[in-house]
Chains A and B, each alone.
Chain A
Amino acid sequence: MAREQHDYDDIPGTFVFDAERSREGFGINMFCMSLMKDENRKAFQANEAEYLKKFKLTPEQTEAVLKRDYNRMLELGGNIYFTAKLGATDGHSFQHLAAVMTGNSQDDYAKMMLGGGRNVEGNRSRSGKNAPSKFLSGAAPAKNRTAAKPKAKAKAKAKPKPKVKKSKPRAKSAKRK
C-alpha cells in the first residue's frame, strides 16, 4: 500500500518519523538499539549481513544499512536518534552523519552551523508554500512595555494589529490541502 499523504510531506529534505514509518522501521530501529551493547556491536562488525538477519529487515532496508545510506534509512522508517547509534558504532561524530545526510563535507557543514545554520527561507516547502507561518506575523500586544527594541515586523506587511484575539475568525487557508 502506498504511503498516506500528509501535509508534512511537503517539507523539503525531511522524512517525518510518523506512526507509519515507526511501524515499517521497527526492525531498523531495534537493530540500532541493539548497538547500545558492546557485544552486539562486535557481533555486527564481525558479520554485518548475518547480524542484520535477526531483525527481519526488508531487502531495501538491509541494503540501506549496509551502504550506510542514512537518508534512505530515514525514508524506510529509521529514526535519527536510533540511526545515530549506527554512526557511533562506526566511530563517527553526529556532525559527520549530518554532513553525509546533507551532502556536504563535514567542514562545510560545520561552517554552515557556525554561520547560523541553514536558512529557513526557501526551505519551507517543496510546492512553493514559502510564506512564513502566520504565527510569526501576529503583532505583540500593544500594552507590552517590556520590549526595549522596536519589533522587526518583517513579514507582517499587513496592518500591525495590536493583538491577535483568539476569537477572531481567521481564514484557515493554506494550512491543509
Chain B
Amino acid sequence: MARIIAGVGSSHVPAIGAALDNGRTEEPYWKRVFSGFEKSQEWMRETKPDVAIIVYNDHASAFSVEMIPTFALGCAAEFPPADEGWGPRPVPVVQGHPALASHIAQSVILDEFDLTICNKMEVDHGMTVPMNLLFGKVDKSAHWPCPVIPLAVNVVMYPPPTGHRCYMLGRAIRKAVESYPDDLRVVIFGTGGLSHQISGPRAGLINSKWDKHFLDNLSKDPQKLAKIPHIDYMREAGAEGIEMVMWLIMRGALDDKVDEVYRFYTVPASNTAVGHIILENRAKVASKGAAKHKPAAAKHKRAAARAKVDRIHS
C-alpha cells in the first residue's frame, strides 16, 4: 500500500524563485535564506519519495477571478510552469501522478470533500519555489526527482477554507493514500506563510512570536492550530498570512504523533517571514516493503530525531 511518510512545511515567497533564477543565491541576503534549506535538500535526497503531494495556492496565474475553486486537485500527467508576467520560471515541467491523484479525488469526494478536478493546469511559484527549496535547482531540460500531485487551495479570496476543514481534508488524503494498492512512499508539502501582509497600509507586518507558536504546535498540538479562526490569522499574521491554513492539510495527512526533524525560520525574504519544517511519521518505513519497526528502535529513533532538530534562527 502507499504511505505518507513525512510532511514538509515551507514558505513559497516568489522573490526566492527570482533570486534562484537570477543567480543571486550567494548574496548575503539570499544566502541567509537558502542556507536554511541545505539540510532539507540532504534529507530529501535520503528520503527519496516516490510521489509528492504539494498543497499550495495559485496567485492569479492559473486561476483568475473568473473561477475560484476552494480545493483543486491536479490530476493531469504534467503541469507546465505558468507565465507570471516575466515568462515562465526556468524549471522543468512538473510530472504528475494521474493514477494516484484520481484515486485521491475519488476517495476524498466520497468522504465529503468536494474537490475540483483539474486535468489541465499550469502551476506558479506557489508550487515551484518550495520544490526548488527542497529538491534544489533543477535545470529546465532535466526532470524533477519525483512526480507531484498539486493541490491548489483558495487563500486569495476570503474566506479560505477553515483551518479545521484543511486539517480534516489532510486526514481524508491520508486515508486515500493508504487505500492505494501500489507500494508508494509519499511526502506531503504544506506551503505558504508564514506571517506576512503585502496589501494596504499595514503591509510589512511580521509576527515572529505567532510563527514560532505555529511551528511549535505543528508537532505538539495540531488540533489547537486547527481551531484558530480566520480573524486571528489576519490580525496576528497579516491579511496574506492566512495562507498558513494550507500547512494544516499537510499536518492532517500525517499521523497524530510525529517527530520534528528539522526547522528553519528567518525574517525577511522580501515581505515575508520564511518558515520551514520537516515532520516525520514515526512508523516511517525506511524502504519499500521493510518490516515493522520495533518499539525500542522507534524510541531510539525519536531521541535521535529530537537531537537533530535545529533551533529556531531569528
User: Is A49 an interface position by the 8 A CB rule?
Assistant: no
- CB-based contact B311/A11 at 8 Å: no
**In angstroms, how far is the closest chain B Cβ from the Cβ of A60?**
17
User: A118 contacts which of B159, B206, B219, B221 (Cβ < 8 Å)?
Assistant: B206
- CB-based contact A102/B204 at 8 Å: yes
Binary A-proximity of B113-132 (CB < 8 A = 1, otherwise 0): 00000000000000000000
* Known A-B contacts A8-B158, A144-B220; A125 and B235 likewise in contact (beta carbons under 8 Å): yes
**In angstroms, how far is the closest chain B Cβ from the Cβ of A74?**
6
User: A11 contacts which of B210, B221, B234, B260 (Cβ < 8 Å)?
Assistant: B234
Q: What is the total number of residues of chain B having a CB less than 8 Å from a CB of chain A?
A: 60
Q: How far is the CA of A103 from the CA of B268 in the complex (A)?
A: 20
User: B204 contacts which of A32, A85, A117 (Cβ < 8 Å)?
Assistant: A117
User: Is B90 an interface position by the 8 A CB rule?
Assistant: no
Which residues in B have their C-beta under 8 angstroms from that of A33?
Answer: 60, 64-65
User: A98 contacts which of B198, B229, B232, B236 (Cβ < 8 Å)?
Assistant: B198
User: Is B205 an interface position by the 8 A CB rule?
Assistant: yes
**In angstroms, how far is the closest chain A Cβ from the Cβ of B166?**
15
- CB-based contact B234/A166 at 8 Å: no
Binary A-proximity of B53-81 (CB < 8 A = 1, otherwise 0): 00000011000111010000000000000
Q: Which residue of B lies closest to A32 (CB)?
A: B60
Interface residues of B in 152-206 (CB under 8 A from A): 156-159, 195-206
Which residues in B have their C-beta under 8 angstroms from that of A11?
Answer: 202, 234-235, 239
* Known A-B contacts A8-B234, A124-B236, A141-B221; A98 and B203 likewise in contact (beta carbons under 8 Å): yes
- CB-based contact A117/B202 at 8 Å: no
User: Is B228 an interface position by the 8 A CB rule?
Assistant: yes
- CB-based contact A79/B60 at 8 Å: yes
Q: What is the total number of residues of chain A having a CB less than 8 Å from a CB of chain B?
A: 63
* Known A-B contacts A11-B239, A85-B85, A132-B236; A95 and B156 likewise in contact (beta carbons under 8 Å): no
* Known A-B contacts A81-B156, A124-B235; A14 and B199 likewise in contact (beta carbons under 8 Å): yes
- CB-based contact B234/A117 at 8 Å: no
Q: Which residue of A lies closest to B235 (CB)?
A: A124
Which residues in B have their C-beta under 8 angstroms from that of A44?
Answer: none
User: Is A54 an interface position by the 8 A CB rule?
Assistant: no
Which residues in B have their C-beta under 8 angstroms from that of A88?
Answer: 85-86
- CB-based contact B235/A22 at 8 Å: no
Q: Which residue of A lies closest to B29 (CB)?
A: A114
- CB-based contact A101/B271 at 8 Å: no
Pairs A-B, 9 closest by C-beta atoms: A117-B206, A13-B202, A13-B201, A80-B199, A18-B158, A118-B204, A133-B232, A81-B60, A120-B207
Chain B positions near chain A (C-beta within 8 angstroms):
15, 59-60, 64-66, 68, 83-86, 156-159, 195-210, 213, 216-217, 219-221, 223-225, 227-232, 234-236, 239-240, 260, 267-268, 270-271, 273, 306, 309, 311
Chain A positions near chain B (C-beta within 8 angstroms):
7-8, 11-19, 22, 25-26, 29-30, 32-33, 35-36, 71, 74, 79-82, 85, 88, 94-95, 98, 101-103, 109, 112-114, 116-118, 120, 123-125, 129, 132-133, 135-136, 138, 140-141, 144, 146-149, 154, 163-164, 166, 175
Listed A/B pairs (18) with beta-carbon separation below 8 Å = A14-B200, A29-B64, A30-B66, A33-B65, A36-B83, A113-B270, A116-B208, A123-B205, A124-B236, A125-B235, A133-B210, A133-B236, A135-B228, A135-B232, A138-B224, A146-B219, A146-B306, A149-B311
